[in-house]
Amino acid sequence: MLLHITNKKDRLAVLGMIILLLLTFIAILAPYIAPYDPVELNLTQRLLSPSIKHLLGTDSVGRDILSRIIYGTRISLMIAVIVVIIEVFFGVVVGTAAGYFGRAVDEIIMRLADILLAFPGIILALVIAGLLGSSIMNLIIALTSVGWVRYARVVRGSILSIKKEGFIESARAIGCSNLRIASRHILPNIISPVIVLATLNMGTIIISIAGLSFLGLGVQPPTPEWGIMLNEGKPFMESAPHLMIFPGLMIMITVLAFNFLGDGLRDILDMRINDIVEY
């Protein structure tokens, strides 16, 4: 299948898609695939190198790294999906309001968005973790409270340009109500930029989750999570580098897969680029 697609970018997108499908299966089937319990300690088998018994070795308290990575996929993807859904929801609602009503509503929302965008996300997460404590819930709050702004801006921009299109005028001319125009003629047209943004955003969110957890501000040990695994492997970086290499690789592969897919989708969904064919 991969070989039949001639465009290099499309091929990468399909590759990204296949990797993501695989990761999704791994996440869903984690209890059946993982060879060991991800949180079970086994102090007699600490810091083992990769072997037949432990394919990716064991960590400082003897937990199987492969099993922890498999369960980590579950946590990371789940949190990322929840974060994206919340961000898209608020972004689309607020962006639509700003773009559709315009004037004062638009002005207020967009200035608020500018303020939020000026906030460094990591510091905001620090503040939220400091105020509310570190937990998955608070991690989600920290990420979404700033993240929706990007969607709101994209949605608002698309709506402003679509509002001027001829088909909106002709929809009015056949007697469509405002609600009908918004739901049937405007919303379907902003879905593709939102899908592209969401896919590319997934990668960033996965890095943020790992980063915040690495700093101790997100998911808490002993939950198997890639950022935590990196943190736990840090003291053994020289003696047992596999503790950091495998979770690091996993983060990289996942983020790359999302970026490949997002880039490909952008090209496919953006008609302007798509239409140009060179001979």
Partner 1 sequence: MSLLDIVNLNISFATRAGVVQASDEVSFKIRKGEALCLIGESGCGKSIVALGIMRLLPGNARISGKIFFNGRDLLSLHKKAMRKMRGRDIAMIFEQPAGCLNPVLSVGNQIAEAVKIHENCSGKISRQRAVDLMALVGIPCPCKRYSQYPYEFSGGMAQRVMIAMALASHPSLLIADEPTTSLDVTIQAQIIELLKNLVSQFNTSLLLITHDLGVAAQMCDSVVVMYAGGIIEKGRMSDVFKNPGHPYTQALLKAASGKEPASVKGSVPELTRLPDGCRFHPRCELSQDICRKIMPQMKKGVKCHIQKKT
Judge whether 74 and 30 are in contact, CB under 8 Å.
yes
| Least CB distance to partner 1 at residue 268 (A) | 14
| Cβ at position 99, least distance to partner 1 in Å | 15
By the rule CB under 8 A, 169 interacts with partner 1: yes
**Shortest reach from residue 106's CB to partner 1, in Å:** 14
Contact 80, 136 (CB under 8 A): no
Of 16, 24, 142, nearest in space to 83 by CA: 142
- Kindly state whether residue 166 participates in binding partner 1, applying the rule CB under 8 A: yes
For residue 234, state whether it binds partner 1 (rule: CB under 8 A). no
> Residue 58 — φ and ψ, nearest 5°?
-130, 165
Site for partner 1 in 170-199 (CB under 8 A): 170-177, 180, 184-185, 188-189, 191
Q: Which residues contact 104 (CB under 8 A, 6 or more apart)?
A: none
By CB under 8 A, residue 270 contacts partner 1:
no
* Closer of 7 and 183 to partner 1 (Cβ): 183
Selected range binding partner 1 among 55-63, 160-168, 198-206, 246-254, rule: CB under 8 A: 160-168
| Separation CA 154–CA 157 (nearest Å) | 5
The SS3 call for residue 148 is helix
- The minimum distance between CB 232 and partner 1, in angstroms, equals 48
Distance CA 85, CA 63 (A): 33
Q: Per CB under 8 A, does 276 bind partner 1? A: no
Structure token pair of residue 74: 């579950």
Binding status of residue 163 toward partner 1 by CB under 8 A: no
Name which of 271 and 276 has its Cβ closer to partner 1. Answer: 271
Question: Residue type for 27, please?
Answer: A
Q: Which is nearer to partner 1, 71 or 100 (CB)?
A: 100
> Angle at the Cα of 240 (from 234 to 243), degrees rounded to 5?
55
CA separation for the pair 33, 80 (Å, rounded): 22
Which is nearer to partner 1, 60 or 189 (by Cβ)?
Answer: 189
Q: Given the rule CB under 8 A, which residues bind partner 1?
A: 165-167, 169-177, 180, 184-185, 188-189, 191, 271
